[in-house]
Structure formats: C-alpha cells, structure tokens
Amino acid sequence: MSCGEPHETECAEVLDHLYEFLDHEMPDSDCTKFETHFGECSPCLEKYGLEQAVKKLVKRCCGSDDVPSDLRSKVMGRIELIRSGQAVPDCDITAEPDVPAGSVTADADVTADADVTADAGATADADVTADHSATG
C-alpha cells in the first residue's frame, strides 16, 4: 500500500515494520520517523489503527491464556537466527528427546496420501504404506 505521496520514510518500510512499532520493539528514533509518517499518510495511519485495534481485541480475548515459561526464549532465539541470516531448523532444537540416549526403538504403521507439486508446475500423486520396525 502506498498513498502515492513522497515521504521521508516510505510506506512500504512503515508497513513492513508495523508490528515492531506496535510492540515497542524499535529504537526511539525509528518510532519518531513512524509517528511523523502517520501524521502525513492517512492510509498508513488507517492500517496502523486497524492493526492496533486487532492487537487490543486479541489481548482482551486471549490475554489470560497461560504461556509456557520457555516460549519467549525460544521465539527470541529463532528471531535472532533469522536476523543473523542463519538457517532456521524446522524442528525444535531445544526439545528433550523422549528416548534415552543410545537406544532407538521404532514400531510404526504409516499410511499416507501425498499430493506433491514441484516448482515447475508438475504434480505427482503418491500412495505410501509402510510397516517399519527397528530396535537397536
């Protein structure tokens, strides 16, 4: 979204970092630039007002839910990985394994239907049935 008017801080930058502004997670100098932009740009001000209202509604409706104590550190760790440009693992790297170290036991019946679409637009359907048992 852009109002089409020139601004010191572009609409795209403001909208890309809107939640950082809403959550007070940016330096004061950037907050000042955003406040100036909102004073000049009614479409961005409207978007800010909408997102602020949604955030308040979510807080009112879901604000009393208990959050696991280690969630914040896990989320902040993942954000730091992303900001540093490092690869982010798909799984929780801090999770404790359920199986004692040195022992592997698996007994699984797996049935899956998969519809896979490649980047080139090719589509493949696969039916997979497996029965795997391993003890080590």
Measured CA to CA, the distance from residue 14 to residue 38 in angstroms comes to 9
Model pLDDT, residue 14 = 93
Task: Tell me the pLDDT of the chain averaged across its residues.
Answer: 72
| pLDDT of residue 12 exceeding 80 | yes
pLDDT at position 113 over 70: no
Q: Identify the CA nearest to 21 among candidates 8, 11, 33, 12.
A: 33
Q: What is the mean pLDDT of residues 32-50?
A: 93
Say whether pLDDT at 60 is over 60: yes
